[in-house]
Amino acid sequence: MGTILLNNQFIDRSQGTVDIEDRGYQFGDGVYEVIRIYEGKMFTGDEHLTRLFESAEKILLDLPFTKEELLGNLLRLIEKNSLNTGIIYLQVTRGASVRQHQFPAASEAVLTAYTKEVARPEEQLNQGVTAIVADDVRWLRCDIKSLNLLGNILAKQEAFSQGSFEAILHRDGTVTEGSSSNVFIIKNDQLLTHPATNLILNGITRREILRLCADIGLNYKEESFTLDQLNDADEVFIASTTAEVMPVVQAGDTIVGNRKPGKWTTKLQAALKDSIQQQCGELVHSKG
């Protein structure tokens, strides 16, 4: 929308420019976050900002602001754009310098952030979506929310071209995560999801879901599962900031749960919605 944040400045989107030697642009040398806004308020904002600082530390990038300063600016950005339901996208790159692979001796990190109206995907949440299954060809530091997303976007494009919502990724038959989400299965009243290792992004929605399992009385294990287990699951869902708890009713060639969202998935959707409403107030708008 209209106003964007560039470092410490609020400017009109049309005034926002990128240096052609910005390392984010040339190398994907930076990190990012996507934060959900409901009813004009951030959901799990603190967790996202903490993860941003952790990602930055993992790529040896010093952020020239504190979490509190950034939070203050993001709140102002929401207000300036009168955002009700949507997202904040923010990224920090290592800044601009003459192209060389090693870090420049001196460059200043560049922060950009903007807001976008994004409605809750209610129809898909009610009906579920389909997913393809694809090889996870990404690097071995998927725990970093890095701007380098080629492996993710190639998988997502493959899903999209086959009319699917997501690509469920696996390494040698072990399911890791989705191209832009975490993946969960439920078998015999137990939820399984890949542990938070270097092979997945530890999603903020994932953490929230594991916390909510206790509330709804669902056993869970952070334990990896195979493609065979995926095909044999009672329920499958994916989760992310924008997709929430999204039922998967077909994974590859396998129809899940008669093509209907399962009972635990539905309970988790409701529990997540409650948690959102506790933080952001009653959800009265579904659109921006």
Is there binding between residue 152 and ligand PDD (CB under 6 A)?
yes
Binding flags for ligand PDD, 30-69, as an x/- string (CB under 6 A): ----x-----------------------------------
- Residue ranges in the chain assigned as alpha helix (H): 23-27, 45-58, 67-80, 122-127, 150-161, 204-216, 227-231, 263-280
CA angle 88, 92, 97 (to 5 degrees): 145
Could you say which of 67, 80, 145, 221 is catalytic?
145
Number of residues binding to ligand PDD, judged by CB under 6 A: 14
The helix (run of H) or strand (run of E) holding residue 132 is strand 129-135
Minimum Å gap between C-beta 283 and ligand PDD is 18
In the bound state with ligand PDD, the residue whose beta carbon lies nearer, of 34 and 249, is: 34
In the bound state with ligand PDD, the residue whose beta carbon lies nearer, of 8 and 157, is: 157
CA dihedral 59, 64, 66, 70 (to 10 degrees): -100
Is there binding between residue 182 and ligand PDD (CB under 6 A)?
yes
* Window 230 to 259, contacts with ligand PDD (CB under 6 A): 240-242
The CB-nearest residue to ligand PDD is 203
Q: Tell me whether residue 41 is one of the annotated catalytic residues.
A: no
Binding flags for ligand PDD, 66-85, as an x/- string (CB under 6 A): --------------------
In the bound state with ligand PDD, the residue whose beta carbon lies nearer, of 81 and 91, is: 91
The per-residue DSSP string of 183-233 comes to: EEEEETTEEEE--SSTTS---HHHHHHHHHHHHHT-EEEE--EEHHHHHT-
In the bound state with ligand PDD, the residue whose beta carbon lies nearer, of 137 and 255, is: 137
Interaction site with ligand PDD (CB under 6 A): 34, 152, 177, 180-182, 201, 203-206, 240-242
Annotated catalytic sites, by residue?
A: 145
